[in-house]
Amino acid sequence: MKQTIFTLLLLSTIGFVSCRKNGTEPNIVQYDKAQIQNYIKANGITGMQQDTVGGDTSGIYYKIILPGSGAPLAYSDEVSFVYTLRSFDGKYISSDTIANQYFGYIGHLVNANYPAGLQLSVINDLKYSGASMRVLIPSYLAYGINGYGSGSINVAGSHIAGNQCLDYYIHVIDKQPDTAAQAKYDDLVIRNYLAAQNLTSLYTNDGGTYYRIQTAGSGTDPITDNTTIECTYNERLLNGTVLGGANQTTGIDSTSFEVPALIPGVTRMLEKHAVKGTVISMIIPSGQAYGTSSPTGTPANSCLRYEFTIVDVSP
């Protein structure tokens, strides 16, 4: 009886190996293609096409949402882009385009731990500054059998499991330097934020910066480039992440600034609209804030929201 079972197992194993050698079992490229096609069908995705640059398919599927313009992008170009990311199993989702921003060379994307397939698709398929696309990246051009991240695959959002195809949305804001494209994108981000927060009617646009006087000041000394202000303030990203501040609500005392030391957008707004006693809220576009040279903890090209209370003004 034992001999019979062993013989059956041996024959089964030989048959299984033979199937592999004959190519009847799908390889990873075929497996990924099946996964992507099933994902498209299951999610009702339309308009996808295969990347066939070079006369063959890379396994990437993509859909151009907004065409761009200008000269085609090259690996040597510096670009600013935002993105969202979802693994096919739904266990990893990163949808915050405020935090998900990149500024750097296209050819350095892989070095920055982005998938090789994303780098390839930006060049082959997205092609132009100002464009956006949805792209489905096969696992062998993503993070392979090892996946990505240090967290557990059982904890949502902490780890991309092995052999996971990826669903990206990516929008290339501009190819540096293109301040006009950045300003246009900043304004879109701010207006979308104001609409989502039901603040549209409360804020006034002043040269791309949106502001609201919450309390009018009573001081008579103007704020200038030669002024030092004592103030309470807070600084945050538009996703609510607090970057810093001196504010009674955080238990931190007021602080002093020489006005020229502030970012350009804040300096301009305080000089135009504030005196002692003013409480002002402002949303500064990235081009008038830190731009691409953002400090640690602040993504490149971040629009910033500030609340300032001007406690005192002195020369």
Q: What is the pLDDT of residues 202-248, one digit of tens each?
A: 999 999 999 999 999 999 999 999 999 999 999 999 999 988 877 65
Confidence of residue 14 (pLDDT cuts 50, 70, 90): very low
pLDDT, tens digit (0-9, with 9 covering 90-100), for 71-98: 999 999 999 899 999 999 999 999 998 8
pLDDT score for 269: 96
Q: What does the pLDDT average to over 253-268?
A: 90
pLDDT, tens digit (0-9, with 9 covering 90-100), for 176-202: 667 788 888 899 999 999 999 999 999
Q: What does the pLDDT average to over 290-307?
A: 86
What architecture (CATH level 2) is domain 180-314?
A: Roll (3.10)
* Amino acid found at 178: D
Torsion of the alpha carbons at 256, 261, 262 and 268, rounded to the nearest 10: 110
Give the span between the Cα atoms of 292 and 225, in whole angstroms: 24
pLDDT score for 65: 96
pLDDT score for 52: 92
Calculate the average pLDDT of the chain.
86
**Placement of tokens 């929201």 in the chain:** 305
211: burial class by Cβ within 10 Å (0-12, 13-18, 19+)? buried
The answer to whether the beta carbons of residues 160 and 92 sit under 8 Å apart is yes
Q: Which residue has the higher pLDDT, 291 or 304?
A: 304
Give the span between the Cα atoms of 308 and 279, in whole angstroms: 6
For residue 272, the SS3 value is helix
Neighbours of 99 (CB within 10 A): 13
Give the span between the Cα atoms of 287 and 285, in whole angstroms: 5
Q: Is the confidence at residue 152, as pLDDT, over 90?
A: no
Confidence of residue 155 (pLDDT cuts 50, 70, 90): low
Angstrom CA distances, 247 to 33, 85, 149, 223, 307, stand at 54, 35, 36, 20, 9
Cis peptide bond prior to 260, omega within 30° of 0: no
Angstrom CA distances, 215 to 236, 292, 298, stand at 20, 33, 29
For residue 74, the SS3 value is coil
pLDDT score for 35: 95
- Cα–Cα–Cα angle for 236, 242, 243, nearest 5°? 80
Give the span between the Cα atoms of 2 and 179, in whole angstroms: 77
For residue 289, the SS3 value is coil
**Placement of tokens 């970057």 in the chain:** 243
Domain residue ranges in the chain? 24-176, 180-314
* Percent with pLDDT over 90 in the chain: 65
Give the span between the Cα atoms of 77 and 223, in whole angstroms: 41
Confidence of residue 9 (pLDDT cuts 50, 70, 90): very low
Give the span between the Cα atoms of 177 and 27, in whole angstroms: 43
At the top level of CATH, which class does the domain 24-176 belong to? alpha beta
Continuous H helices in 122-235: 179-196
Per-residue tokens: 46: 């339309």
pLDDT, tens digit (0-9, with 9 covering 90-100), for 16-57: 333 333 445 679 999 999 999 999 999 999 999 999 998 888
Confidence of residue 158 (pLDDT cuts 50, 70, 90): confident
**Placement of tokens 């576009």 in the chain:** 285
pLDDT score for 154: 67
